[in-house]
Amino acid sequence: MRFCSSCGASVALKIPDGDTLPRHVCEACGTIHYQNPKVVVGALPEWEDKILLCRRAIEPQYGFWTVPAGFMENRETTAEAAARETEEEARARIEVGALFSLVNIAHISQVHLFYRARLIDLDFGPGTESLEVRLFSEDEIPWEDIAFRSIHFTLKRYFDDRQSGTYGFHTADLAPLQQ
């Protein structure tokens, strides 16, 4: 960051009084520009024994499968974000249920949250960010073509919980992949 989004003046990287981390601070108006993790929110839309997945039409992971999810917007709750992303990516309406998983991905400054959700009807189709949208039973999930590790983690826990008959809340901290 080079310029203040409040007044346009130059910013300097320094530790503000009362803080412990370097921040971009405006030299003119004193605004502190915090850079915080991004929150990704999604849903596990259920219909009978199947889960709705979207095949990505955008990078990263073009052509791979995911649950409907994306970056949370300002002034919305996490549940609202899950419903909005499902509408945008799958043109599907859901009833948002319980928070199911939280995945910390500190090395890319992201937190991923996934809700269980019930599809309201079977009126769905690909949105602009999806090549196709489809319901999958557990044995049909394209495990080798799942876009992100947080989705893989969440789907595995979902099917394990479904088999046990008890749904819990699951967390994970994902480290960078070894190159």
Write down the domain spans for the chain: 1-35, 38-173
pLDDT digit string, tens, across residues 83-102? 999 999 999 999 999 999 99
Q: Which residue, chain included where needed, has tokens 């309406």?
A: 93
Say whether pLDDT at 145 is over 80. yes
Mean pLDDT, rounded, for 64-69 = 98
Which of 45, 36, 47 lies closest to 71, judged by CA? 36
Residues 6+ apart with CB under 8 A from 99: 78, 113, 114, 115, 169
**Same topology for domains 1-35 and 38-173, yes or no?**
no
Encoded amino acid at 113, one letter = L
**What topology is assigned to 38-173 in CATH?**
Nucleoside Triphosphate Pyrophosphohydrolase (3.90.79)
Say whether pLDDT at 69 is over 80. yes
**What topology is assigned to 1-35 in CATH?**
Ubiquitin Ligase Nedd4; Chain: W; (2.20.70)
- pLDDT of 15 reads 96
Which of 84, 81, 70, 99 lies closest to 171, judged by CA? 99
- pLDDT of 179 reads 72
Residue 178's pLDDT band, with cuts at 50, 70 and 90, is confident
| Cα–Cα–Cα angle for 151, 157, 158, rounded to 5 degrees | 85
Residue 154's pLDDT band, with cuts at 50, 70 and 90, is very high
Instruction: Quickly count: other Cβ atoms within 10 Å of residue 23's Cβ.
Output: 17
pLDDT digit string, tens, across residues 102-136? 999 999 999 999 999 999 999 999 999 999 999 99
